């Protein structure tokens, strides 16, 4: 009996939300837009919903096939393997970056004496274990933990509000610099990170039990996640002010440090880290799962034996990709996002979309001709 | 197969990392590679090297077991060693 | 892997491994027929039972012929032998009866043994089997076949209150070792002909009777068939307890969590059967299994449904909380003391640091010391002879208590942590589930010692991932929560009033999804509302 692993609609929603929140609340978003960053995020969310629909449409040409199988359908196996390897590299690379984001935060804020490699290794072991268990446990884990993320967010807001740190004046004047900086942040940056990253779901969405709802669910998920991220961005600015946000490496964490209620609830940043960790674990696992699906396609064998060794490689590269945090962020903002992300998230899928569309139409015509 | 995949992914990521580092530091390939592997970052780096080494050993063991399982014509049961 | 090691280190062991022929079930065609040659049967039986002191063979006269009565003294009721066999045979009418062939033997039985359960058997191995299961067998000279009369002793412990799951309000009877009594306890609660008990004999040496109970028109047939398939495929030599069965039929071995529910309470089992689950009764064990199980079942006890629903929901919340406390409190303590001082309010932190001043160990050693001491005490408390119970509790109070603090080995706060953990661990209504948190607690402590709260959270996420990968007979272990089923939420975190629970759990996919369609709130609708 072959067990086809499936993801229910609610689980897909939980995965998308966790994935999108993932690293985007760890590192601040849309710094160039100054106090209008939240507007930029909200606009990007609208675009992101469209992007989600685009990926869904791409998958719905061949229902039941994932990204790699569609590549084969459109280009044939040889080219498909090449492009798949590119995707696999991309997914692993971003997974390593995501893990690095989090590990940097852990070392700088919570566990200053623990080497970053050890923190990474533990995270990667967890990811390896989840992936070894399969997609279903991953989705269920996301399902169980996502209520807590929302609850934590609400609680954090409440605490910040109670301790009187939120001042609406920090985001005023709205649109002081006009639309230009907003448009600039939305178009190369926010489109690729975090909203374009939904491209990994092209390898996962096809396992949804009710595929016809998958697109809508992904769109709703992106919407909710975008609202949450926009909200958190706005909150960061309201609490810290534009300058502090720009200077801080991890703005949400810095904001959480401001909480002080009745001299009793103080320093809740350790708990905030844990909201972030759930998102990171899910995001990392989803990326790695998509990549392992690619390995499964390339090597034509189940991915489980690969999980542990490959995860160890990723844990090595998590520390190899950059010497320090400054290089890591610089590489991310100035090289990875504009070149690598944009290519793999938009250029390749767009070409694939066109080719597949033409091919599917040809087939339909042929069928129509045969029928007639 | 797993070992091959291990090296494939290793090379793939190494290429990506090297390209980005070359772009950032505007160095030659050799210099970048040298700095990637031999720059002194901290004793913690050995944890990472060691984990990758364990991964390599595991992949060899898994490959061996996959092959023996295939020979025994059992349904391939592979778990983390 | 184990085979491989065996091959290297113990090559001789593998060759010696061979199955012993099963004497009780000979191969087809080789069975020995009871042909009426009573002397040779007597000799064979003597050979089969050897020097067993309880094997008895009495010569008697039946229907004008010589015969033998075989029975095992220990398994049969001596009063029954006296009354049924001796009295019947000395009855004047019986003495006049003549038996010349098998038909007449049957007639004789119909006439004189009709009050007791008897059967005619025709093979020698059946004879042995009948003797072993507590029957007396009479063979008659020159007649093929034999009469087996069931004279099983019905000795069993009297029904007492279960020792593992006590309740304040609710029935106080518990299962006992005798399977028939257990069946009657369930049947008395569910008077429904669809409640069925399928019997199996498991264990090459023990021949333990195992009943699979289900309600025919409710249970999910797929699950029932899977249970029966797995029970049939058990190849064990001995089954003494339902725990043996549990290990053979579990979906996954490498898990600390129990994948079958076990209870001593008949009302719990009756409730589970009516939900559409399958119960497994094992002769000789007062613990009855019920499958499939989800994690939520381990936080429930039948008393939840006898108390008012608000109270039922509240104690359920307490149970979830105490599971979490038992799991992470020591780990949390270690993490906070070692890495995250800022999480504690300053006043409390000062207090704790002052207490720990004289303690020479790091928090990890302190915690492990106390936890292991406690586990030892606990094990001693369970195993010790009742007579020395006092000693252990007095010494235990010294070890985990003021004396340990005063000696400067542990801090006072540590004692509180261990005590809270221990008490929280006892809240779990099912013992085998509590042991899961006992084991995982140590993993959590080690993780927290290495990585602080980060390690604890990694451990928790790994545990949840592990839980969500578990299945019990195809039903996801976290069933109504993940995958999320909205309809089943009335019995998870909050117990709805009984009249509000109209449906059976959806994840079981029963044949009759609705259990009480007409149930309604006892509060009448306000006047002028609708009708």
Share above pLDDT 90 across residues of chain C, in percent, rounded to a whole number: 35
| Span A113-134, pLDDT tens digits | 888 889 999 999 999 999 999 9
* Length of chain C counted residue by residue: 531
Q: Do C478 and A140 touch (CB under 8 A)?
A: yes
| C3 has pLDDT over 70 | no
| Span B2-57, pLDDT tens digits | 899 999 999 999 999 888 888 888 888 888 888 777 766 666 778 888 888 999 99
Rounded to whole angstroms, how far apart are CA atoms C428 and C257?
13
Mean pLDDT of C375-380: 89
| Span C293-312, pLDDT tens digits | 999 999 999 889 998 989 99
> Which pair of tokens denotes residue C246?
């549990």
At residue C86's C-alpha, the angle toward residues C82 and C89, to 5°, is 155
Rounded to whole angstroms, how far apart are CA atoms C266 and C171?
9
CB contacts of B76 in chain A (<8 Å) are 302
Cis amide leading into C483 (omega within 30): yes
| C1 has pLDDT over 70 | no
ipTM of the complex, rounded to two decimals? 0.92
Closest chain B CA to residue A93: B13
| A26 has pLDDT over 70 | yes
Interface membership of B55 toward A (CB under 8 Å) = yes
Query: Where are the strands (E) in C31-134, listed by range?
Result: 55-62, 65-72, 118-121
Tell me if A332 sits within 8 A of A339, measured CB to CB.
Answer: no
Mean pLDDT of A329-340: 83
> Which pair of tokens denotes residue C364?
């990890």
| Span C142-152, pLDDT tens digits | 888 888 888 88
| Span C36-59, pLDDT tens digits | 788 888 888 888 887 888 888 888
> Which pair of tokens denotes residue B52?
């990758």
Confidence of residue A66 (pLDDT cuts 50, 70, 90): confident
CB contacts of B42 in chain A (<8 Å) are 115
Q: Do C464 and A278 touch (CB under 8 A)?
A: no
Rounded to whole angstroms, how far apart are CA atoms A253 and C106?
89
CB contacts of C484 in chain A (<8 Å) are 8, 10, 143
pLDDT attached to residue C17: 46
pLDDT attached to residue C27: 64
| DSSP code per residue over A176-215 | TT-SHHHHHIIIIIIHHTTGGGGGGGGGTGGGBSSHHHHH
Neighbours of chain B (3+ CB pairs under 8 A): A
Confidence of residue A177 (pLDDT cuts 50, 70, 90): confident
The segment with the largest mean pLDDT, out of C11-20, C86-95, C455-464, is C455-464
The structure tokens 């029928």 sit at A371
| A339 has pLDDT over 50 | yes
Mean pLDDT of A163-168: 82
φ, ψ of residue B8 to 5 degrees: the values are: -60, -50
> Which pair of tokens denotes residue C471?
């299945």
Tell me if C505 sits within 8 A of C488, measured CB to CB.
Answer: yes
Interface test with C, best of A5, A110, A140 (most C CBs within 10 A): A140
| A252 has pLDDT over 80 | yes
pLDDT attached to residue C8: 53
Interface membership of A296 toward B (CB under 8 Å) = no
Q: Cα A298 vs. chain centroid, distance in angstroms?
A: 24
| Span C356-370, pLDDT tens digits | 888 888 899 999 999
> Which of A42-46, A78-82, C146-150 has the lowest average pLDDT?
C146-150
pLDDT attached to residue A36: 83
Rounded to whole angstroms, how far apart are CA atoms B8 and C16?
47
CB contacts of A136 in chain C (<8 Å) are 468-469
What ranges in C121-205 are assigned the alpha helix state H? Answer: 124-132, 179-189
Rounded to whole angstroms, how far apart are CA atoms C494 and C470?
24
C80 versus C209: which is more confidently predicted? Answer: C209
CB contacts of C339 in chain A (<8 Å) are 110-111
Helix (H, G, I), strand (E, B) or coil at C479: coil
Confidence of residue A309 (pLDDT cuts 50, 70, 90): very high
pLDDT attached to residue B39: 65
pLDDT attached to residue C26: 64
Per-residue burial over C37-50, b = 16 or more CB atoms within 10 Å of its CB, e = otherwise: ebeebeeebeeebe
pLDDT attached to residue B81: 39
Longest Cα–Cα distance in chain B: 54
φ, ψ of residue C476 to 5 degrees: the values are: -55, 140
> Which of A2-16, A299-313, C14-28 has the lowest average pLDDT?
C14-28
C106 versus B55: which is more confidently predicted? Answer: B55
Please give, rounded to a whole number of angstroms, the shortest distance from the CA of A126 to a CA of chain C: 6
Rounded to whole angstroms, how far apart are CA atoms C120 and C149?
9
Confidence of residue C11 (pLDDT cuts 50, 70, 90): very low
Cis amide leading into C31 (omega within 30): no
Interface test with C, best of A144, A261, A271 (most C CBs within 10 A): A144
Q: Do C452 and A267 touch (CB under 8 A)?
A: no
The structure tokens 């449906």 sit at C503
pLDDT attached to residue A54: 92
> Which pair of tokens denotes residue C412?
């006072």
Rounded to whole angstroms, how far apart are CA atoms C325 and C341?
20
Q: Do A8 and C483 touch (CB under 8 A)?
A: yes
pLDDT attached to residue A283: 93
Mean pLDDT of A84-105: 92
| C179 has pLDDT over 50 | yes
Tell me if C432 sits within 8 A of C241, measured CB to CB.
Answer: no
Q: Which residues contact C99 (CB under 8 A, 6 or more apart)?
A: C62, C63, C64, C65, C105, C108, C140, C143
At residue C2's C-alpha, the angle toward residues B77 and C7, to 5°, is 115
Rounded to whole angstroms, how far apart are CA atoms C382 and C389?
9
φ, ψ of residue C511 to 5 degrees: the values are: -70, -30
Tell me if C252 sits within 8 A of C482, measured CB to CB.
Answer: no
pLDDT attached to residue C461: 93
Annotate C27-43 with three-state secondary structure. CCCCCCECCCCHHHHHH
Tell me if C267 sits within 8 A of C232, measured CB to CB.
Answer: no
| C196 has pLDDT over 60 | yes
């Amino acid at each position: 009996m072959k067990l086809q692993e499936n993801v229910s609609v609610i689980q897909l929603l939980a995965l998308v939300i966790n994935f999108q929140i993932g690293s985007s609340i760890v590192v601040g978003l849309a710094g160039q837009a100054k106090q209008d960053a939240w507007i930029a995020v909200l606009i990007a969310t609208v675009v992101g919903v469209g992007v989600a629909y685009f990926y869904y449409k791409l998958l719905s040409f061949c229902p039941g096939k994932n990204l790699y199988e569609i590549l084969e359908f459109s280009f044939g196996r040889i080219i498909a393997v090449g492009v798949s390897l590119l995707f696999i590299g991309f997914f692993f690379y971003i997974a390593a970056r995501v893990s690095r984001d989090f590990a940097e935060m852990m070392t700088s804020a919570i566990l200053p004496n623990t080497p970053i490699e050890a923190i990474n290794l533990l995270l990667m072991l967890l990811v390896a274990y989840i992936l070894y268990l399969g997609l279903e446990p991953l989705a269920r884990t996301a399902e169980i933990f996502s209520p807590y993320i929302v609850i934590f967010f609400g609680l954090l807001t409440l605490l910040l509000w109670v301790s009187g740190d939120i001042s609406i004046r920090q985001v005023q004047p709205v649109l002081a610099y006009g639309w230009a900086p907003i448009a600039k942040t939305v178009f190369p940056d926010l489109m690729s990170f975090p909203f374009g990253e939904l491209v990994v779901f092209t390898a996962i969405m096809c396992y949804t039990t009710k595929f016809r709802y998958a697109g809508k669910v992904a769109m709703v998920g992106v919407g909710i996640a975008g609202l949450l991220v926009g909200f958190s961005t706005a909150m960061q600015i309201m609490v810290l002010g534009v300058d502090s946000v720009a200077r801080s490496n991890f703005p949400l964490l810095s904001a959480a440090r401001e909480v002080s209620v009745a001299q009793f609830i103080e320093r809740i940043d350790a708990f905030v880290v844990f909201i972030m960790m759930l998102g990171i674990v899910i995001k990392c696992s989803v990326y790695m799962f998509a990549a392992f699906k690619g390995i499964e396609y390339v090597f034509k064998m189940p991915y489980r034996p690969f999980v542990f060794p490959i995860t160890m490689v990723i844990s090595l590269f998590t520390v190899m990709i950059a010497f320090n945090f400054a290089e890591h962020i610089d590489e991310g903002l100035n090289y990875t996002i504009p070149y690598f992300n944009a290519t793999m998230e938009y250029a390749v899928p767009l070409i694939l979309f066109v080719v597949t569309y033409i091919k599917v139409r040809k087939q339909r015509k042929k069928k129509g001709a045969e029928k007639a | 197969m797993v070992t091959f995949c291990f090296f494939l992914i290793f090379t793939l990521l190494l290429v990506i990392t090297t390209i980005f580092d070359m772009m950032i530091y505007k160095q030659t390939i050799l210099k970048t590679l040298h700095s990637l592997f031999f720059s002194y970052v901290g004793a913690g780096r050995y944890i990472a090297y060691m984990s990758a080494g364990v991964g390599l050993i595991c992949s060899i063991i898994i490959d061996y077991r996959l092959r023996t399982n295939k020979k025994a014509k059992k349904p391939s049961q592979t778990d983390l060693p | 892997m184990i085979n491989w090691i065996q091959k290297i280190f113990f090559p001789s062991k593998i060759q010696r491994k061979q199955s012993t022929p099963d004497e009780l079930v000979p191969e087809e065609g080789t069975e020995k027929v009871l042909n009426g040659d009573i002397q040779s049967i007597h000799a064979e039986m003597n050979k089969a039972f050897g020097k067993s002191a309880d094997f008895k063979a009495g010569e008697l006269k039946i229907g004008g012929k010589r015969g033998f009565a075989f029975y095992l003294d220990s398994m049969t009721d001596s009063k029954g032998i006296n009354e049924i066999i001796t009295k019947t045979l000395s009855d004047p009418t019986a003495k006049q009866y003549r038996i010349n062939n098998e038909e007449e033997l049957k007639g004789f039985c119909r006439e004189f043994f009709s009050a007791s359960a008897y059967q005619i058997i025709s093979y020698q191995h059946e004879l042995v089997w009948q003797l072993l299961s507590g029957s007396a067998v009479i063979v008659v000279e020159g007649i093929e076949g034999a009469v087996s009369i069931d004279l099983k002793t019905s000795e069993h412990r009297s029904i007492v209150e279960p020792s593992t799951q006590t309740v304040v309000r609710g029935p106080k009877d518990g299962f006992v070792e005798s399977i028939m009594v257990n069946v009657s306890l369930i049947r008395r609660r569910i008077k429904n002909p669809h409640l069925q008990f399928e019997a199996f004999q498991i264990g090459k040496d023990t021949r333990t009777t195992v009943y699979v109970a289900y309600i025919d028109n409710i249970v999910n047939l797929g699950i029932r068939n899977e249970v029966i398939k797995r029970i049939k495929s058990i190849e064990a030599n001995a089954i003494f307890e339902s725990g043996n069965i549990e290990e053979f039929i579990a979906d996954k071995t490498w898990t600390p969590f129990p994948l079958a529910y076990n209870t001593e309470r008949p009302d719990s089992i009756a409730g589970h059967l009516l939900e559409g689950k399958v119960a497994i009764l094992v002769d000789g064990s007062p613990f009855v299994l019920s499958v499939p199980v989800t994690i939520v079942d381990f936080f429930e006890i039948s008393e939840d449904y006898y108390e008012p629903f608000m109270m039922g929901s509240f104690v359920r919340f307490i149970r979830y909380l105490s599971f979490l406390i038992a799991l992470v409190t020591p780990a949390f303590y270690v993490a906070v003391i070692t890495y995250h001082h800022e999480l504690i309010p300053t006043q409390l932190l000062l207090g704790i640091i002052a207490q720990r001043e004289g303690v020479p160990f790091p928090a990890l050693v302190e915690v492990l010391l106390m936890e292991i001491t406690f586990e030892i005490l606990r094990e001693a408390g369970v195993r010790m002879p009742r007579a020395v119970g006092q000693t252990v509790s007095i010494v235990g109070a010294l070890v985990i208590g003021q004396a340990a603090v005063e000696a400067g080995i542990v801090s006072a706060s540590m004692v509180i942590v261990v005590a809270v953990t221990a008490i929280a661990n006892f809240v779990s209504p099912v013992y085998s589930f509590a042991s899961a948190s006992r084991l995982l607690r140590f993993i959590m402590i080690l993780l927290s010692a290495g990585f602080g709260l980060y390690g604890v959270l990694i451990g928790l996420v790994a545990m949840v991932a592990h839980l969500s990968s578990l299945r019990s007979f195809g039903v996801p272990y976290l069933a109504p929560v993940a995958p999320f089923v909205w309809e089943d939420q009335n019995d998870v975190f909050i117990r709805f009033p009984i009249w509000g629970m109209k449906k059976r759990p959806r994840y079981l996919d029963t044949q009759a999804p609705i259990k009480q369609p007409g149930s309604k709130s006892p509060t009448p609708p306000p006047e002028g509302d609708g009708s």
